[in-house]
Amino acid sequence: MGASDVFSIDIKKRSDCSREDYLSNLRKSTGVFISGGNQLRLSTILGGTPVAKVIRKLNADGVHVAGTSAGAAIMPEHMISGGRSGSTPTPRSVSLSPGLGLTNSIVIDQHFRQRNRLGRLLAAIAYSPFLTGVGIDENTAIFIDHDNTFSVEGSGAVTVVDPSKMNATSVSTAARNDAINITDIRLHILASGSKYNLNTHTATVFDSDPVTQIFNK
């Protein structure tokens, strides 16, 4: 993919995260990519370790940190570690755990449309309504810029759940398997070329059809 020098950090247990050869290579990195698998396994192995601290420091200094599947889910401070498929949110739709903490403004769900995960993203937002929910389809990515604006690339779409105007939710009183109320929540579906500002909660949509562009303006 154009990288001139690539090395793999083969972390299998927490003690691997203190290996000086791994840390030395990591500190010199100009980009970090975290593979997929099980995000809870990733977080329980990496959390609080020297490797996690170096990754956060690199990212704070402007180094791009990316991930796929579980590697994407672990990026934020609040991570979806599990849950149920389906469109209707219930208190048991989602499990939340600490992530890497590279951002504290979003929660990410992956394989979104393919695995029907709208309900668990809505439940995550009901539990933590200061977060913006971002559901990423397969073969699709978001790129978060330094100004907290992300752009969408790929063949699928990104679903944004914006709770900034949310008025009420019954997640704290509903029975474990009951559907929950969530009112005054906004939903955006963003395709490749679109952008979303996480600070202002505004979407900018690119459309190749000039008639639609004029209408959108």
- What does the H/E/C string look like for the chain? CCCCCCCCCCCCCHHHHHCHHHHHHHHCCCEEEECCCCHHHHHHHHCCCHHHHHHHHHHHCCCEEEECCHHHHCCECEEEEEECCCCCCCCCCEEEEECCCCECCEEEEECCCCCCCHHHHHHHHHHCCCCEEEEECCCEEEEECCCCEEEEEECCEEEEEECCCCCEECCCCCCCCCCCCEECCEEEEEECCCEEECCCCEEECCCCCHHHHHHHC
Structural domains in the chain? Answer: 1-74 (no CATH), 80-217 (3.40.50.880)
Global pTM? 0.91
Report pLDDT digits (tens) over 13-34: 999 999 999 999 999 999 999 9
Note the pLDDT of residue 209.
58
Report pLDDT digits (tens) over 132-170: 999 999 999 999 999 999 999 999 999 999 999 999 999
Catalytically active residues are 69, 111, 138
CB 23 within 8 A of CB 54: yes
Low-confidence ranges of the chain (pLDDT < 50): 214, 217
User: Percent of the chain, pLDDT > 70?
Assistant: 95
